[in-house]
Amino acid sequence: MIVLNAQHLSKAFGGNTVLSDVSLTLQNGDRIGLVGVNGCGKTTLLRVLCGELNADGGSVSMAKDVKIGYLAQQNHPVPGMTVYDLLRSVFDPVREMEKKLRGLEEKMAQTRDETELKRLGESYQRLNTAFEEAGGYYWQSSIQGVLKGLGFTEEMQHQQTAVLSGGELTRLHLGRLLLQQPDILLLDEPTNHLDLEALSWLETYLAEYRGSVLVVSHDRYFLDHVCNGIVEMAFGVTEQYPGNYTRYLDLRAERWLTRERAYDAQQKEIARQMEIIRKLRAFNREKSIKRAESRVKMLDKIELLDRPEEEKQIFFHFTAARRTGDDVLRVRGLSKRYDGRTVFENVTFDLYRGDRVALIGRNGIGKTTLFRCLIGEEAPDLGAVIEGANLDMGYYDQHQKGLHDAKTILDEVWDEFPRMDQTAVRSALGQFLFTGEDVFQEIRSLSGGEKGRVALTKLMLRKDNLLLLDEPTNHLDMNSREVLEEALDGFEGTIFAISHDRYFINRFANKVMEMTPEGVVLYQGNYDDYLAEKEKLAAPQDAWVQAGMTKTEFRKVRQKENGSKLQKKQLEAALREAEKQVERAEQELKDYEAFLAGPDAYAKPGSAETNAWEYQRLQKQLEDAYAAWEQAAEDANG
């Protein structure tokens, strides 16, 4: 059954058309993901559908008695109410029914009139049925389930909503909306402030939701696991696809290819007809001219196909100005406390050159604080951070606190790199879609995604060899996330990134570090490998008891039995990395040989000796790379 049908919606703000011809259909039980680049109109569409905005044109129709619930990106506290109070207010009608039931029970206990008792009994039965259907017997457990699922501790339940952060408010209002159970859920970026546990809980909840869901999200893993349909917004119009996000990508590529071929075929046919018309006119005879005019009329009736277009997207890559040693960073026994509360303790780990490590853990565990200790913004209470040779550390702050609100985009970047000329700075900003007059916008006027792109521009220009990235995909649309992943894939340095974006972790990470109150635990592989390992380690206690082993012995046996697949993936990844190292070493040697053949190679005194030494080093580097590749190939195929 169709519960919502939007047809040919249009909406403009001043001279800016946001929606030009938007149509979508939502069936009962659908879980539709709404995707598109930042600024394409997704939030505007949700606000039109829920009635917050009026469309300039088109229509929205809904099934009878359908209730819509809308979660905005920005949410506000409710003065005078605690976290628990706000969620409990959802059940105020149920609690009122419960009071009436208790009142009817007292009246029935006191009356001796059989007629009155029968009337009270019938009223009680009707009210009790309504009370049961409204969740009257389990509303308290429903609240606790949502609070726990969204990561609210027992202590936080009693906090005033006025003291909550923006992310906590979003989670709270999401919980309130889920408890209301509307027929249609309109969710605008619900996953932005959820940790991995809360994300998993929400995915399960929405997969089993009895109503329909339309969700704006850039979380590709979430869209894959929740959605049975995708609506893409581009250039003010929509296209609807069946299946999850991965299926959408396949179907979209097929449609794109079909349209491109159809456009090319039509253009070739038009060109062929125009050439025939030219020749007919060149004959300059009455019949040929008439035939030419006939073909012109035929062409005029053709409905011209538009050339398939893509939204503009960023393009950039990271490079390192110099190479670190093999030991990049050593962290020993790090601990941090605030106001008597331990944030983390006993954090010990090593980062090696070429590592791609994803740092995960629940919200509030201290991941960002750990990064600030690593870069020197905060001092740990105990422990040491030992930097390796030639280390240049670059930090991406998810909150963009390093940006200056009063500066323009151009000045923000140029002030940090004053030796660059304006053309070079503007060229760098152009890679992140800041062109023309855009560069004179003040930082304060930018969206979260735009601020993120400014911060990425600065990080790219620094050319550091260790990148500390705190939630780098937050506020980036899918195209930008994919470009970021490709840029990191080609980076020759070391990456340490905090992220809740499981798709992103799968793309870039070769190690996952889980942060707990007791320290950190390192897992080999990406996020899916981490999940597989966690499942193995979570075997029920009676399994090793029945096997007549200790827990440690049983774990070692299970790891050995089930580790072959993970080991194979790791060996294949090592082989791919070794191949890249050979390619890089060959290119470096080739570039240096070209330099030696040029006029500048021997311009300075002593350059011949320096050149010879460097050439030998590059040859040795290539030999080592070949040897490493041969060993990796033997390991992978052995």
Domain containing 237 — which CATH number? 3.40.50.300
Joined together, the tokens standing for residue 25 give: 């259909």
DSSP state of 621: H
For residue 19 the two structure tokens come to 């929606």
564 pLDDT band (50/70/90 cuts)?
A: low
362 and 259 belong to one structural domain: no
Q: Tell me the per-residue pLDDT of 55-76, one tens digit each, with 9 for 90 and over.
A: 999 999 999 989 999 998 878 8
As a whole-number percent, the residues of the chain with pLDDT over 70 amount to 94
Distance, CA of 415 to CA of 300 (rounded, Å): 56
| 468 and 392 fall within a common domain | yes
Predicted confidence (pLDDT) at residue 183 exceeds the cutoff of 80: yes
Secondary structure class of 19 (helix, strand, coil): strand
Per-residue three-class SS string for 365-413: CCHHHHHHHHHCCCCCCEEEEEECCCCCEEEECCCCCCCCCCCEHHHHH
Sheet holding 184-188, edge to edge: 57-62, 2-13, 16-27, 237-242, 229-234, 31-35, 212-216, 184-188, 68-71
The token pair at 208 is: 């089993």
Q: Is residue 98 part of a domain?
A: no
What was the pLDDT predicted at 566? Answer: 59
611: pLDDT strictly greater than 80: no
Residue 498's nearest CA partner among 515, 521, 475, 510 is 515
Smallest CA-to-CA distance from 484 within 244, 609, 290, 315 is with 315
Position 629 scores a pLDDT of: 74
Q: Please tell me the distance from the alpha carbon of residue 621 to that of residue 585, in angstroms, as a whole number.
A: 7
The terminus-to-terminus CA distance of the chain in angstroms comes to: 56
pLDDT tier, 259 (very low <50, low <70, confident <90, very high otherwise) = confident
Between these two residues, 398 and 537, which has the higher pLDDT value? 398
Q: H or E stretch including 232?
A: strand 229-234
Q: State the pLDDT confidence band at 542, using cuts at 50, 70 and 90.
A: low
Whether 482 is in a domain gets the answer yes
Question: Whole-angstrom Cα distance, residue 591 to residue 583?
Answer: 12
Query: Phi/psi of residue 215, each to 5°?
Result: -125, 130
Residue pair 519/365 in contact (Cβ under 8 Å)? The answer is no
Is 380 found in the same domain as 478?
A: yes
For residue 605, being part of any structural domain is answered with yes
CB neighbour class for 268 (10 Å; exposed up to 12, middle 13-18, buried from 19): exposed
My answer on whether 403 and 370 are in the same domain is yes
Q: Is the dihedral of CA 475, 478, 482, 485 positive or negative?
A: positive
Are 209 and 192 in a shared domain? Answer: yes
Pick from 514, 530, 558: which residue ends a domain? 558
Q: What's the rounded mean pLDDT across residues 24-29?
A: 93
In Å, the largest CA–CA distance within the chain is: 118
Q: How do beta strands 2-13 and 16-27 pair?
A: antiparallel
423 found inside a domain:
yes
Claim to verify: residue 451 and residue 547 sit in the same structural domain? yes
Tell me how far apart the alpha carbons of residues 176 and 143 are, in angstroms, rounded to a whole number.
9
Q: How confident is the model at residue 565 (pLDDT cuts 50, 70, 90)?
A: low
Number of structural domains found in the chain: 4
Is residue 34 within a helix (H) or strand (E), and if so which, with residue range?
A: strand 31-35
Q: Which residues contact 373 (CB under 8 A, 6 or more apart)?
A: 334, 336, 379, 380, 385
Dihedral over Cα of 360, 364, 368, 369: its sign = negative
For residues 408 and 475, state if they share a domain: yes
Say if residue 432 is in the same domain as residue 356: yes
Helical pair 166-180 and 196-207, crossing angle rounded to 10 deg: 20
CA atoms of 5 and 22, how far apart (whole Å): 11
* pLDDT at residue number 48: 95
- Could you tell me if 548 and 585 lie in one domain? no
Distance CA 467, CA 328 (A): 11
Of 183-187, 353-357, 586-590, give the lowest mean pLDDT range.
Answer: 586-590
Query: Do 618 and 489 belong together in one domain?
Result: no
Give me the residue label for tokens 């009878």.
64
Q: What is the mean pLDDT of residues 496-522?
A: 93
Which tokens go with 50?
């829920």
Tokens of 149: 């699922």
In whole angstroms, give the CA distance from residue 99 to residue 122. 17
Do 369 and 411 belong together in one domain? yes
Judge whether 122 lies within some domain: no
Q: Which of 37, 50, 39 is nearest to 16 (CA)?
A: 39
The mean per-residue pLDDT over the stretch 420-430 comes to 94
Task: Give the residue from 150, 102, 520 showing the smallest Cα distance to 347.
Answer: 520
Residue 144 lies in a domain: no
Let me know whether 630 and 501 are in one domain: no
On whether residue 156 sits in a domain, the answer given is no
Residue whose C-alpha is closest to residue 592's, from 564, 613, 562, 571: 613
Domain range for 65 is 1-77+164-243
Nearest Cα to Cα of residue 20 among 49, 64, 58, 70: 58
Alpha helices in 218-363 (DSSP H): 220-226, 245-283, 286-301
Res. 634 pLDDT band, cuts 50 70 90: confident
pLDDT at position 613, please? Answer: 76
- Residue 273 CA: distances (Å) to CA of 260, 301, 635: 20, 13, 61
Q: Which pLDDT score is estimated for 550?
A: 61
Question: Which pLDDT does position 551 carry in this prediction?
Answer: 56
Determine, yes or no, domain membership for 134: no
Tokens of 111: 């009356």
Q: What is the pLDDT of residue 558?
A: 58
Res 556 pLDDT > 70: no
pLDDT score at 188? 92
Phi, psi of 315 (to 5 degrees): -150, 125
CA-to-CA distance for 117 and 109, rounded, in angstroms?
Answer: 9
Of 286, 301, 316, the domain-final residue: 301
Task: Give the separation between CA 147 and CA 83, rounded to whole angstroms.
Answer: 9
Burial bucket for residue 28 (CB in 10 Å: 0-12, 13-18, 19+): middle
Does 553 score more than 80 pLDDT?
no
In sequence order, what are the beta bridge partners of 132?
none
Choose the final residue of a domain: 243, 272, 289: 243
Instruction: State residue 559's pLDDT score.
Output: 57
Residue 313 CA, distance from chain mean position = 16
